[in-house]
Amino acid sequence: MELKRAEQIADSLEQLVFQGEYKDGQRLDEIKLAAHFKVSRTPIREALQRLVMSGMAEQIPRRGVFVRQPGPVELLEMFETMAELEAACGRFAAARMTEEGLNRLSEANAGCRRAVEKEDAAGYYLENESFHQEIYRGATNTYLQKETLRLQNRLKPYRRMQLRFRGRMAQSLAEHEEIITALGTGDAERAAKALRGHVTVQGEKFQQLIAGLKS
């Protein structure tokens, strides 16, 4: 129960950072946060560790946990790198993914579809995360899978934030269909191109993301 509460608190803290309640470099005080969320310090510590693991905060020995927001250039570079990692996973998965893996991928996408129908952005993100992880797994390259998972975790708050943009969930779902088709037919270059386009943040979409971080 406490872990679930810690996850809820971490989600709330992410939103507070995005909304500007906590600035880059600001210390996240355990005692004040415990009072704010009306909980003990244990779930607060768990929540702060999740932020540290995702890269949204930095833990400095004997000083505490501090907000860490990437600048626009760093964030764009991370998304560009993520797009290439996912493209590589798609290229390998097109040749190596099993029928069982493709079935699990379709099941995760069905969960995404149900979330879109319910207009449930949080539910969509969870199913979307599973969808992508099936592709990493299907690439059958342990090192690539580990590195892609690491960056997926780092970008989690920002990818989740994108789902709040009008029409983004439906667009994402349509992109999933193209990815599934490419993987199912074993078309490596088509899969790589579809995944690269799916993850890349360009133009207006990136400006929306940066504006959201500043608002």
pTM of the full predicted structure? Answer: 0.75
Chain centre to alpha carbon of residue 137: 17
Instruction: Examine the domain organization and report whether 116 and 157 are in the same domain.
Output: yes
Cβ–Cβ under 8 Å, residues 23 and 33: no
Instruction: Examine the domain organization and report whether 103 and 25 are in the same domain.
Output: no
Instruction: Examine the domain organization and report whether 150 and 96 are in the same domain.
Output: yes
Domain range for 163: 72-214
pLDDT in tens, 65-113: 999 877 888 888 989 999 999 999 999 999 999 999 999 999 999 999 9
Instruction: Examine the domain organization and report whether 84 and 182 are in the same domain.
Output: yes
State which of 67, 98, 116 marks the end of a domain.
67
Instruction: Examine the domain organization and report whether 14 and 79 are in the same domain.
Output: no
Secondary structure element (H or E) that encloses residue 196, with its range: helix 188-199
pLDDT in tens, 147-205: 999 899 888 878 887 777 778 889 999 999 999 999 999 999 999 999 999 998 755 56
